[in-house]
Amino acid sequence: MQPSVTVLLAQLRDGDRAALDQLIPLVYTELHSVAAAYLNGENRPHTLQATALVHEAYLRMLGSSHPPYRDRAHFFGIAARLMRQILVDHARARQAAKRGGPALTLVLQEELDGAPAQGPPAIVALDDALHSLAQIDGKMAQIVELRFFGGMTAEEIAEFLPESVHRVRHEMRLALAWLHREVAR
């Protein structure tokens, strides 16, 4: 019998590096789905593939010290942040190589019925706007990050933070309006 994700996270927290090797196959499909959703949301063909994104996140997890993962949702939140960093780094490198390419257009859509939203097409613009939002309201920025980069539902975010689902949805609406305005500048 295979240990549960929660048991493996506890083992990893206690310093058992081998637990990560057992954990990844259990969560790989879900991480791959999240990565594919981000990349499918891009408005132009992406040179990075979902499999490569998940593998790069895994390599970064191997090379780092592990925070005390509280539970499955917390693990996916951390994985989402890693994937965000990888996507942003990749997009910035491509932009630097092109110098002076076309203006980026950011389209954020949020379905409040609990269905995962598509990833934003302008990852660099969103990252810059999220950094600005984090300076104003860190929790709002975290909610957006968990939703778009973690593929988490409002219910999962509410459990992760902990916060009420109503509050998470309210904060998401405010954050999306702010991000639209910020990116439009």
Tell me which residue has tokens 């949805």.
Answer: 169
User: Which pLDDT tens digit goes with each residue over 33-54?
Assistant: 777 766 665 555 556 778 888 8
Task: Give me the CATH number covering residue 170.
Answer: 1.10.10.10
What single string gives the DSSP state of each residue in 86-110?
Answer: HHHHHHHHHHHHHSS-PPP------
- Indicate if 92 and 46 belong to the same structural domain: yes
User: What is the residue range of 46's domain?
Assistant: 5-98
The verdict on residue 118 lying in a domain is no
Mean pLDDT of 65-90: 77
Tell me, yes or no, whether 48 and 133 share the same domain.
Answer: no
| Residue 55 lies inside a defined structural domain of this protein | yes
Structure pTM?
0.59
Q: At what angle do helices 5-13 and 72-98 cross, to 10 degrees?
A: 70
Q: Is 54 a domain residue?
A: yes
For the chain, what is the domain count? 2
Of the spans 65-69, 96-100, 111-115, 117-121, which averages the highest pLDDT? 65-69
What is the CA angle 161-55-42, rounded to 5? 75
Q: Rounded mean pLDDT of 58-74?
A: 73
- Is the domain of 130 the same as that of 66? no
Domain annotation covers residue 176: yes
